[in-house]
């Protein structure tokens, strides 16, 4: 049986959990669509991250495909309907990268509120900009989570330990759900606009769907508190990038961290909107990927695919 892996994965997991299968591991395959389609002709399983588009042509080139392993949790790069229709099982790495994303969000919130860490060169050259670097504390601030699933809950737990108060907006979570009353203190359930108006830090934790595309547009950014921080480690397409850049340039918002973009990789043309925007952290879709999470995610998916091919 053949397993094709078209993006990077922990090689130890391939050796430990996929031995005995014919493996084509080529992290560059995602950028060579023809070679990928050719490789899929005899494949029983495909393992991808977020860049391989598992739909249309690609599925048509894989007549024997039985399982897709997703080395992450977002499934917007997979045509789930088409997979269901063909009986192809899709395995996301649910739970395996929560810690990585939660730590990314907390770090970004603290960096952006404090604003003290960008002056190394000036300090080495003899500047002593104490007043300019007098930032804000995270303790006592309100964190608003848009979406209150597993990653948002891990983020909330860490924020509570730092003395933040918490609100979340999640229309899919019933008002009586125990998740609103965690052991570290209450999480206030709010409509989206009220959450935006009342939060010092807003972090997004929703998948990209027709419903969430464009959710945080210019009007919603305008509802945020003056000086507030926006963090998007969820998916590009949820935040209007030009409107966010404009709000940062105007000093309306205090800062933002973007790990995901409408277009990935962000090429020079798409990135131009962010050039010289103040208080903005840009990272290349790495919030969910640490050495530890890559190990966990890879082992979980390798085992799920092996189980499916041998037992399923």
Q: Which residues bind ligand 3PG (CB under 6 A)?
A: 49-50, 71-74, 97, 288-289
Annotated active-site residue in 103, 188, 262, 264: 264
Please report how close the Cβ of residue 284 comes to ligand 3PG at its closest, in angstroms: 10
Q: Is 235 marked active-site?
A: yes
Nearest CB to ligand 3PG, comparing residues 33 and 135 = 33
Nearest CB to ligand 3PG, comparing residues 253 and 260 = 260
Nearest CB to ligand 3PG, comparing residues 97 and 165 = 97
Q: Which DSSP state fits 22?
A: E
The answer for residues whose C-beta is within 8 angstroms of residue 93's C-beta and 6 or more apart is: 70, 71, 72, 73, 296, 297, 300, 301
Please report how close the Cβ of residue 72 comes to ligand 3PG at its closest, in angstroms: 2
Please report how close the Cβ of residue 46 comes to ligand 3PG at its closest, in angstroms: 13
Annotated active-site residue in 142, 235, 296, 306: 235
Annotated active-site residue in 169, 205, 220, 285: 285
Beta pairing class for 142-146 and 201-204: parallel
The answer for residues whose C-beta is within 8 angstroms of residue 51's C-beta and 6 or more apart is: 7, 30, 77, 264
To which residue do tokens 């965690």 refer?
182
Nearest CB to ligand 3PG, comparing residues 146 and 289 = 289
- Buried b or exposed e, range 145-183, using 16+ CB within 10 angstroms: bbbbbbbbbbbbbbbbeeebbbbbbbeebeeeeebbeee
Please report how close the Cβ of residue 221 comes to ligand 3PG at its closest, in angstroms: 23
220-225-229-233 Cα dihedral, nearest 10 degrees: -30
Q: Which residue is nearest to ligand 3PG (CB)?
A: 72
Catalytic positions:
235, 264, 285
């Amino acid at each position: 049986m053949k397993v094709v892996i078209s993006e990077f994965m922990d090689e130890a997991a391939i050796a430990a959990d996929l031995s005995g299968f014919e493996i084509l591991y080529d992290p560059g395959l995602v950028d060579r669509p023809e070679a990928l389609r050719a490789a899929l002709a005899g494949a029983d399983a495909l393992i991808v991250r977020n860049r391989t588009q598992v739909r249309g042509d690609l599925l048509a080139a894989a007549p024997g495909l039985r399982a897709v392993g997703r080395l992450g949790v977002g499934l917007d790069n997979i045509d789930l309907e088409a997979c269901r229709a063909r009986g192809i099982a899709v395995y996301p790495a649910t739970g395996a990268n929560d810690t990585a994303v939660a730590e990314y969000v907390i770090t970004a919130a603290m960096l952006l509120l404090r604003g003290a860490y960008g002056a190394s060169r000036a300090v080495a050259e003899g500047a002593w900009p104490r007043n300019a670097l007098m930032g804000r504390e995270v303790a006592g601030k309100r964190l608003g989570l848009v979406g209150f699933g597993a990653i948002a809950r891990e983020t909330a737990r860490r924020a509570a330990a730092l003395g933040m108060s918490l609100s979340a907006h999640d229309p899919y979570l019933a008002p009586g759900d125990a998740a609103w009353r965690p052991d570290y203190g209450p999480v206030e359930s709010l409509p989206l606009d009220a959450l935006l108006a009342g939060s010092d830090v807003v972090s997004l934790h929703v998948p990209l769907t027709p419903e969430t595309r464009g959710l945080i547009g210019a009007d919603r950014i305008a509802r945020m508190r003056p000086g507030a921080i926006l963090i998007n480690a969820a998916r590009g397409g949820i935040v209007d990038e030009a409107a966010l850049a404009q709000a940062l340039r105007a000093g309306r918002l205090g800062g933002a961290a973007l790990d995901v973009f409408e277009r990935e990789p962000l090429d020079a043309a798409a990135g131009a909107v962010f050039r010289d925007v103040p208080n903005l952290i840009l990272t290349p879709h790495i919030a969910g990927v640490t050495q530890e999470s890559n190990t966990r995610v890879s082992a979980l998916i390798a085992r799920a695919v092996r189980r499916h091919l041998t037992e399923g």
